[in-house]
Amino acid sequence: MTDEHIEKIKSAVESADHIPAEKKEEVVAALSELKPALAEIAHTHAEDAQSIRQSVEAAAHEAARKDNRPEHLNTVLGDLKQSVEKFEASHPELVASVNRYSTLLSALGF
């Protein structure tokens, strides 16, 4: 995940008026944890890393929407969790970071 991707996601979250400031900070911190974990698997699993990055971004944008629907966010988060399952044994830090990120997003008022 590049700095550009993180900035794009941060921008979406930070511009969401319905998300409290402390929750925005938590999401941004979770993104910071995800970046090195994704970079690690990108060297050997580039397509998987790309898919995970896209799911991370889609989940943030869905959570940041003012007229968001919990079922849409749950679907995106489910896809994200599924995309990292195969890395549970080899990259537990990635799975833990994705789980923290998903938990934060799902708790944003749904």
Domain definitions of the chain by residue range: 3-15+24-106
Q: Which of 16-20, 53-57, 81-85, 102-106 has the lowest mean pLDDT?
A: 16-20
For 38-68, how does the pLDDT look when each residue is reduced to its tens digit (9 = 90+)?
999 999 999 999 999 999 999 988 888 888 7
Look at residue 19 and tell me whether its pLDDT is greater than 80: yes
For every residue of the chain, DSSP letters joined together read --HHHHHHHHHHHHT-TTS-HHHHHHHHHHHHHHHHHHHHHHTT-HHHHHHHHHHHHHHHHHHH-TT--HHHHHHHHHHHHHHHGGGTTT-HHHHHHHHHHHHHHHTTT-
pLDDT, residue 5, reads: 79
110 pLDDT band, cuts 50/70/90, is: very low
Q: What's the pTM value of the predicted model, to 2 decimals?
A: 0.86
